[in-house]
Structure 1
Amino acid sequence: MSRTAGHPARTASRPQQPPAVRLSATVMAHPRRAASAGRLARLLGGDAEVVYDPLPDGPSNAMRTAVEAWSRCPAGSTHHMVLQDDVVPTADFTALAVAAAARHPDAAIALYANSNSWNGVTARTALLAGYRWVPTVPYDYFPTQVALMPCAMAHEFVAYARPIVPFDGADDEALTRFLDERGHPSALRVPNLVQHDDQPSLTGLDHQGIRRSVVFMEAAGSSPGTDDACFHLLPALPFFRQRRARLRVLLSGRGRTQGYWTVGRGAQLDLLGMDRRRIAAVADSVVARMGESGGLPQRRAVTAAFVAEVYLGALGLGWAAARLARDHGRHMAVLPSPVHDRVLDSYVESGLGFDADLTVWRPHLGLLRELALRGVNESTGEGG
């Protein structure tokens, strides 16, 4: 079993009287993306500034530009926001970003998370349980595609990060370390307020596959539930990568030992009250429907194996979300809706991994979403 360390969640509590927020914004960009950076700055309006990589022909180093961007918090601002040049904001983005800062005025806030990241896994599970906010997780990079923080914290981060620019170009990992070491709270909003566009990565991350929002506000509409933040460690992290659905379960040991452990397939099935024959039978019925509707996307054995993982993964997703909801006195019901459809679509996408595979499977994505919804509801007691 592999282990991911667990840490107590740190998030900002909701203030009784949210302070007035004066939010400034900077777009961090590379000259090769000047056109998209300029469009983004114009969408933001006001005094949004574009800050370009000061050494554009040098080695790839996001930190180099991030430090300059975070240092541009003007006098009179309470909070500063930095956006990368390859994001597409939702409608009313600026107003929603200001509301986010008012909701968590003392936190570093992420308005995006990759669907296949640990932050994405956590946000997806919490959203199904009715939450819109979770702390970012300390064992993942902080999603810096769009982030905001109080200006004092931004200045502190610049002082922390500038000396390590020549040695460490990963601004997202540095921000995670900074928050952990300094004890600053964090918050991640879901549905996300931006979508990652399809431009090639400038830092060599295309090999990681699909890089899109766990659920984008523009596509999902308003999210269900309240504006509640999830202050609790999740009982499990259901993740789906490289066509394999796994479950990391929160375990506590002696003393202060606590962490997430990836359980083996047998233990996974036992926790979900499922057996291999049942999963295979469900997968076979779905594969038969695919064949009737125009042919299989891949060889039958490969198709059936992936369909089975979609079903198993959805069972784990529903099980984790339902336990989170029930442990804290919440009711959970996942129904066909724009936001839940997008959550399940992104879950299937993260399991496929790459756009080339997504293209092959696209004619069957509606059927896979239907299967995922079935699995989620079966494991929450809402399905038949």
Structure 2
Amino acid sequence: MSAAPAAPRVSASVMTHPVRRPQAEELAAWLGVGNLAVDPAPDAGPSALRTALVAWGQAAPDATHHLMVQDDVAAPAALLDLVTRAAARFPEDALVFYTNWHARNGALSRLAALAGAAWVRGVPQEFTPTLAVCLPVDMAARYREFGGRSSDRHDDEVLSAFLRPGGRMALLAVPNVAEHTGTSSINGHASQGVRKAACPVDEATARPLLADGPVLERPDWLPYMRNGEGFLQLSWGTGPSAHVPWREALAQTGLTEEALRELEASHRPAGAVREVADAFGARYAEELWLHALLLGAQARAVEARLDGAAAGPELERLRERAVSTLGLASLPAEQRPGVTPGQAALLTEYAWSAIHCGRDLLSWAEPARRG
């Protein structure tokens, strides 16, 4: 009988800039992280990559994996334990524990949550979120060498460029146990507005899902929103991918706009439509509902193909949290800060009406579910 594989040993770093050193030290103490990776040239202009390369060089000599956490993160004190258990389950993968709510990877995480998956393979054409990411140490060393040759300052873009040629993007933890704090950005992302996790949950909810929940490698197509407009991701190759409006790409999903419009006319809740349109515009009210309709239909199709599915109260909490960010994240960045709690609840209820409709009434219309 072969011996059981050795348990992973995870070292960790918190990366920071000198102006944020106090908060980085506080976070490192909270997480029990011994390494602080400080920007080695803070006066040379913003560069997340420059500091990330320092962090990836701090792996302990006996470590099998290294975790890098950015200083503007909130996470449970047990993060290292969660990461270690995840590394034991997926020892050869890059693992991501935060996904931006307004990005395609955030939309992919919501789809995975609704379908009953706990992990999902990242979108090749997009940056890989690096607020809380773990790499096997040999991969970290190769990435550090690769990044050292790059002129880019965005470590998340460079990590995707590193992973793409191998055809194996990072595994995204669908339950996000790390959360972004604040809106400032040393690396120039403040224009993106409020940036939060797509599927934020607590440790108790995440732990069983991360341990046993199924993996979604990729869907056939992905509905997502940017700045109040709906799009579809159809290509999963390594080349660039334009943002294609859903109306232009819908035929390739096997669905028809006629089917969507019929359900919109008969099932879109009139009272909520007026409230959403009054607050955020009629075009946004239409785009959000049709996007959520497609999301519900695709979630049902993906769920039917998953090898097993998560279940229980943890999954239901994950789904609720995933949909709670959908409306907010789909708004243009300048509108997000002004959204009241009541409006956020309205957007969530409105999105659910379309998701349920898509799952129950639209998914049956898909003539062929490709593998």
Q: TM-score, normalised by structure 2?
A: 0.84
Length, aligned pairs only: 353
Specify the alignment match of 2:95 in structure 1. 109
Which of the two has greater helix per residue?
2
**Does 2:133 align with 1:133?**
no
Structure 2 CA distance for aligned equivalents of residues 122 and 205 of structure 1? 21
CA-based RMSD of the aligned residues comes to: 3.4
Identify the match of residue 227 of structure 2 among 216, 219, 242: 242
Q: Is residue 372 of structure 1 aligned with residue 351 of structure 2?
A: yes
Alpha-carbon displacement from aligned partner over 1:169-225 (angstroms, at most 9, x marks no partner): 121111111122356663111111200111401111111233111111229934769
Partner of 1:22 in structure 2?
Answer: 9
Q: State the identity as a percent.
A: 29
> Are 1:354 and 2:333 counterparts?
yes
343-352 or 89-98, larger mean C-alpha shift: 89-98
> Could you tell me which residue of structure 1 aligns to residue 194 of structure 2?
210
Deviations 1:74-94 (A, max 9, x none): 111111111111111135212
**Paired position in structure 2 for 1:273:** 259
Aligned 1:31-70 pairs, distance under 5 A = 31-45=18-32, 47-70=33-56
Deviations 1:311-337 (A, max 9, x none): 111101111111111234767999994
Flag structure 1 segments of 5+ consecutive residues without an equivalent. Answer: 1-15
> Secondary structure in 2 aligned to 1:149?
strand
Distance 1:135 1:264 in 2: 22
Q: Distance in 2 between matches of 1:221 and 1:296?
A: 35
Give, in whole Å, the separation in 2 of the partners of 1:76 and 1:327: 40
8 Å Cα contact 2:268-2:354 kept in structure 1: no
Asked if 2 retains the 8 angstrom alpha-carbon contact of 1:279 and 1:311, the reply is: no
Please, which of 272, 297, 311 is the counterpart of residue 279 of structure 2? 297
2:154 maps to amino acid = A
Task: Give the deviation of 1:248 after TM superposition.
Answer: 3.1
Contact 1:125 1:320 in 2 (8 A): yes
The answer to whether the 8 A contact 1:82-1:146 is kept is yes
The residue matched to 1:112 in structure 2 has which SS? coil
Paired residues of 2:264 and 2:290 also in contact (CA < 8 A): no
Q: Which sits farther off after the overlay, 153-162 or 348-357?
A: 348-357
Task: Indicate the larger mover: 357-366 or 21-30.
Answer: 357-366
Instruction: In structure 2, give the amino acid aligned to 1:194.
Output: A
What aligned pairs does 1:82-93 form with structure 2 within 5 A after superposition?
82-93=68-79
The equivalences for 1:166-245 within 5 A come to 167-182=151-166, 186-218=170-202, 221-222=205-206, 226-231=212-217, 233-245=218-230
The offset of 1:101, in angstroms, is 0.9
Change (3 A) 1:266 1:174: closer
Q: Residue 365 of structure 1 aligns to which amino acid in structure 2?
A: A
| SS of residue matched to 1:349 | helix
From 316, 339, 346, the equivalent of 2:294 is 316
Q: What corresponds to 1:3 in structure 2?
A: none
**CA spacing shift, 1:279–1:206, aligned 2, 3 Å:** farther
Contact 1:280 1:308 in 2 (8 A): no
**Alpha-carbon contact 2:194-2:336 (below 8 Å) kept:** no
Is 1:154 the counterpart of 2:140 in the alignment?
yes
Cα deviation for residue 64 of structure 1 reads 1.0
In structure 2, the CA distance between the partners of 1:332 and 1:263, relative to structure 1 (3 Å rule), is farther
The alignment status of 1:381 with 2:366, answered yes or no, reads no
Give the structure-1-normalised TM-score: 0.81
Q: Are the equivalent residues in 1 in contact too, given 2:328–2:347 (CA < 8 A)?
A: no
Hey, what's the Cα distance between the residues in 1 that align with 2:359 and 2:47? 44
Give the match's secondary structure for 1:325. Answer: helix
Show CA shifts across 1:116-158 (max 9, x none). Answer: 2122121211121111111222111111111111111111211
Equivalence map 1:331-350=2 (5 Å): 337-350=316-329
Report the AA paired with residue 98 of structure 2.
Y
Which whole-Å CA distance do the structure 2 matches of 1:275 and 1:220 have between them? 40
Equivalents in 2 of 1:169, 1:282: separation in Å? Answer: 44
Q: What displacement does 1:346 show?
A: 1.2
Stretches of structure 2 that go unaligned for 5 or more consecutive residues are 363-371
Residue type of the alignment partner of 1:248: Q
